[in-house]
A and B are shown apart, each in its own frame.
Chain A
């Protein structure tokens, strides 16, 4: 923001008074949303944007506010979209459709398409955000555009070299040119009047198109014959014609009459003319800045603000009433109004930094500064200083004498009393301490004068008698900051190091019984209409003392700042606090609710530069730093002037914010948003989402919060940050939501969402995971399979051991016992009966032979090779014939049906079952014939071993020694194959053992967990 130029003080306040005071009276009811005519132009907040803020170039050619609340700016080096805070630039590099960056005109049509005219023709930005060249292919003949103008029906008019085109719903409706009656085919400026007729210039001639016919206006119609250079319309559609940059004409019926805005010097070069919604006519000039007239009266110029030599190009009033000024070489300027009006040196104050402000009984407002005292009255601004009678220039405090006069506290020199514009009394303080800067002055109900000093305590002055209350009388500090008298006449004093009450000639620092308050540096003390005592501190928030209760308000309760420089209440029971971070307004009811514990935080409205203050920082340390004037307006001393606000006019509702996602960048590459959902490449590590909520009035008061589904658990509150950054967003579809609110508003607005998909890396894809899962399952299966196999093996080994143990016990041990006994018998009879001994020995021999054959069988069973895959029957034959061998039993093995493959483990079990059954048949049943039959069907195999032996009672197998073990073993083996073992037997009829093996078991077995041994 350019520094304001110092002005000649004598003329400044006169101009200020002439315009401001008069207009104040005349315009009491003007809407607050526009630039108030009652303010001087310098009282508007002025902001400037140049290339360092993101503007593509300093020469502004065209401006338009679109229906989505953005401001579009055409410069000589590109197009910019502005949301109030940031510019997004479109040029031929990032938007090839533009071809040329020299933008001449921009307009939005009724379909929300943006028409951009430039040196190379016309480009349309469609509602979805894509830029498309609009040229010969679309039947549009203009190679170079001068002006684009929107009609009330949503169509657009485009003028330029080659004629005038009317475009309706994106199609060229008609092209006008020389043949239609224009002076030539190079059509210049355009304007629409209140009748809906289009006016255009061509080769300096003025034309009107009415009912499709081109008319020509000339000197006969009141024009001066000079070439017509520009056309403007008033807010009501009246046509103004600028002739050759100087002469202005106003249309009056079918005639033109010369007209010149009052107060604007003759001969200035007018570049643009605009009538705002309040009827102010703003005149932008080539080299003389901006003039403002109202009711044909000059109401302000910017000549004193450094705008004179900027080469103003174009003016634009946005929907919020701010005025935008495009310059030729200094960028973009905004003038905006706020609820607050600031008075600074420009308006005639002695200095910009105001310490104290006060209204006297006559209604005049006094502002004390470091450089003198200023009185603002209805018809003049008057400054007081040492030059015109004050004892000093440093005004350190002001006090109302309750009689129309003012007590003025002076740095280092005591007190002056001003009445009727003259110093009529001076009190020189000669305190015990070597200082006498007065920081606070009050006159109490008894007429006593109290003066707080910066280092010498309090001086109480009655008549000519001055008494001091200092640390010796109990004052916690001799640096006094504020003095106030409550409704009962008690004098409350805030010092640099505590707060308390004057008691007689002493001081009660414990009056409020609060240790923290007793030690805190106090900046302001205020007694309101309800006799509530408010105490503002340096960095410790606000205290309230009401009805004997003390309440402390800090940032925890919602105060935006804990240094409270000034305190006021308005007539609507709002508390106003001046701080270093703006002025806060809080409902008194909220304060009560927090004090009573009914709510935890305060709703704080916050005002700052966006509201018309020149600086958000208020002044402190000199009393009074704020004052409520008799008309209810609130004055605050700030470091940039005195500001005043009408509390009844601050709550102008603004348009709800609309949030937009502007761009998405993945790893610094821009992602297209035109197709609705964005697709991000795989492996995106950095994601940047730029969003905004356009607010041309006060973008600095906008707060955002956002969240990304699956990444953020909750909303991320980011204040005014307009870019969200994420690292390593997981693949999948995500939803990004962003919401905006203004200061003092809740998160009530609709959130804007962006759905995008992050493509997964190969290792993040479902198929990769599926493959992994399959492989893992496979590995687990293999492990399981091996384990099962191992368990089977172990189980088989255990079976074998048990079988051998059983066989040894059943046959070998018995055999050896028998042999042993027979040999004992033989030995015993060897002498007495050798024949008998011989028979015993023969028996022993027979038993040992039998046992040997048993042992051989056991060993055979142990050593027999695993059955081959080739034939189950062959394996069974080979195994069982060995057992039957030498026992005289006949054995047959046969297979029926179509044999199918059996897995080796199962085949082994089957062979062993056959062996066991055959062995049982021979050894226990004494069978003579054994038939083994394997019958295959499609579904199952039935293997049966039938003998003609003794048989047994299957229900009593345990009673049959030797058989029990074998049967259990066979059952186990049958179960292990997945089959079933059946035994049919009865004493005397033989035994039939059969195994039924379902074919499916060949599959199932793979997944069976063997029964634990």
Chain B
């Protein structure tokens, strides 16, 4: 194959250096892939992206300085012509949906075997989408969380942090009454009854992430 000049340029964004090194080793071992850079956080990733213009970017969603989805959205907004592949430990449906909406072409869990990962990179590199069935199922299990407003997500975050309505109101600069009405709305949209249930469901669905707590 005369593919040397057409090697797929791959970039990795992951805060864990050992994971990065492992991934870099796997990818660079492939003839049709070329590792063009590794970034440990979002800021590094943006800088590297501008410099290297990779074809495929492997993005971990849990980054120290920003959310991986935000990174994808930011890069896409700035006219990126790359394909994003999410490789993460996050299994929540909300994360999956948001990531795909933000422009990710593939979504893989970190326990994916290297063969599948490489296949996914190849699929994405040709403009395809790669969402394994297990991920797709997860995406569909999501309660009507997409209907949650930004404010409601904020309330949810503080709720998951174990705050009372008063404390949430204080943190968000809104009245306790407003918090209560948001809470009511959240419970209604998710079809849930108790606050602790909300936290559990939201953690599972990826509406809230442990690392943000």
Which residues on A are within 8 Å of B, measured CB to CB?
795, 798-799, 802, 805-806, 809-810, 813-814, 817-818, 820-825, 827-829, 832, 836, 840, 843, 847, 958-962, 964-965, 968, 972, 1011-1013
Contacts and interface: CB of A to CB of B under 8 A. Distances in A.
A964 B209 CA distance: 11
B21 A822 contact: yes
B102 interface: no
Nearest to B18: A818
Given A840-B22, A1011-B164, A824 B114 contact: yes
In the complex, which range does the number of interface residues on chain B fall in?
20 to 34
A836 B89 contact: no
Interface in B192-213: 195-196, 203, 210-213
Contacts of A824: 22, 26, 113-114
Contacts of B189: none
Contacts of B177: none
B161 interface: yes
Contacts of B172: none
A843 B203 CA distance: 31
B211 A964 contact: yes
A799 B15 CA distance: 26
Contacts of A965: 210-211, 213
B29 interface: yes
Contacts of B22: 818, 820-825, 840, 843
A140 to B, nearest CB: 89
B135 interface: no
B16 A817 contact: yes
Interface in B56-76: 62, 64-65
A1011 B167 contact: yes
B162 A802 contact: yes
Given A843-B18, A959-B64, A827 B162 contact: no
B110 interface: yes
A821 B210 contact: no
Nearest to A807: B210
Contacts of B114: 824-825, 827-828
Nearest to A820: B111
Interface string B86-122: 0001000000000000000000001101100000000
A968 B161 contact: yes
Interface string B142-174: 000000000000000000011110110000000
A802 B26 CA distance: 34
Given A817-B110, A959-B64, 11 more contacts: A806-B211, A814-B16, A817-B89, A817-B111, A820-B22, A825-B25, A825-B114, A828-B25, A961-B62, A964-B213, A968-B162
B187 interface: no
Given A821-B18, A968-B213, A1011-B164, A840 B111 contact: no
A829 B30 CA distance: 11
Contacts of B161: 968
A478 to B, nearest CB: 89
A798 B16 CA distance: 28
A828 B26 contact: yes
A825 B23 CA distance: 7
- A-B complex: 4 closest residue pairs judged by Cβ atoms: A821-B22, A825-B25, A818-B18, A824-B114
Contacts of B195: 1012-1013
B25 A798 contact: no
Contacts of B196: 798, 1013
B65 A805 contact: no
Nearest to A850: B18
A396 to B, nearest CB: 94
B156 to A, nearest CB: 14
A829 B43 CA distance: 31
B111 to A, nearest CB: 6
B111 A799 contact: no
A1008 to B, nearest CB: 13
A824 B110 CA distance: 11
B89 A813 contact: yes
Contact of B210 (A806, A959, A972): A806
25 contacts: A802-B213, A806-B210, A806-B213, A810-B210, A810-B211, A817-B16, A817-B89, A818-B22, A820-B22, A820-B110, A820-B111, A821-B23, A824-B114, A825-B22, A828-B25, A843-B18, A843-B22, A959-B64, A960-B64, A961-B64, A961-B211, A962-B211, A1011-B164, A1013-B195, A1013-B196
Contact of A836 (B25, B62, B64, B164): B25
A809 B162 CA distance: 18
Contacts, number: 98
Interface in B1-37: 15-16, 18-19, 21-23, 25-26, 29
A799 B26 contact: no
A847 to B, nearest CB: 6
Nearest to A817: B110
B57 to A, nearest CB: 17
B210 to A, nearest CB: 5
A840 B110 CA distance: 17
B25 A809 contact: no
With a 10 A CB-CB cut-off, give which of A958, A959, A961, A972 has the most chain B CB atoms. A961
Given A813-B89, A968-B213, A959 B16 contact: no
B209 to A, nearest CB: 8
A57 B25 CA distance: 134
B210 A799 contact: no
Contact of B162 (A799, A810, A822): A799
B211 A822 contact: no
A1011 B163 contact: yes
Contact of A814 (B21, B26, B89, B166): B89
Contacts of A958: 212
B26 A821 contact: yes
Contacts of B18: 818, 821-822, 843, 847
B16 A818 contact: yes
B21 A843 contact: yes
A830 to B, nearest CB: 11
A420 B163 CA distance: 121
Nearest to B158: A968
B64 A832 contact: no
A1012 B163 CA distance: 7
A809 B210 contact: yes
A852 B139 CA distance: 32
A806 B210 CA distance: 6
Contacts of A817: 16, 19, 89, 110-111
Contacts of B23: 821, 825
Nearest to A808: B210
With a 10 A CB-CB cut-off, give which of A817, A821, A827, A829 has the most chain B CB atoms. A821
Contacts of A825: 21-23, 25-26, 29, 114
Contacts of B203: 805
A960 B15 CA distance: 12
Contacts of A843: 18, 21-22
A306 B213 CA distance: 116
Nearest to A825: B25
Contacts of A1013: 162, 195-196
Contacts of B29: 825, 828-829, 832
B32 to A, nearest CB: 14
A799 B162 CA distance: 9
A959 B41 CA distance: 11
Contacts of B166: 1011
B212 A964 contact: yes
Contact of B65 (A799, A832, A959): A959
A969 B176 CA distance: 22
A818 B19 contact: yes
A336 B26 CA distance: 136
Contacts of B65: 959
A766 B187 CA distance: 50
A813 B211 CA distance: 12
B213 A821 contact: no
Contacts of B211: 806, 809-810, 961-962, 964-965
A821 B89 contact: no
Contact of A972 (B16, B89, B162): B162
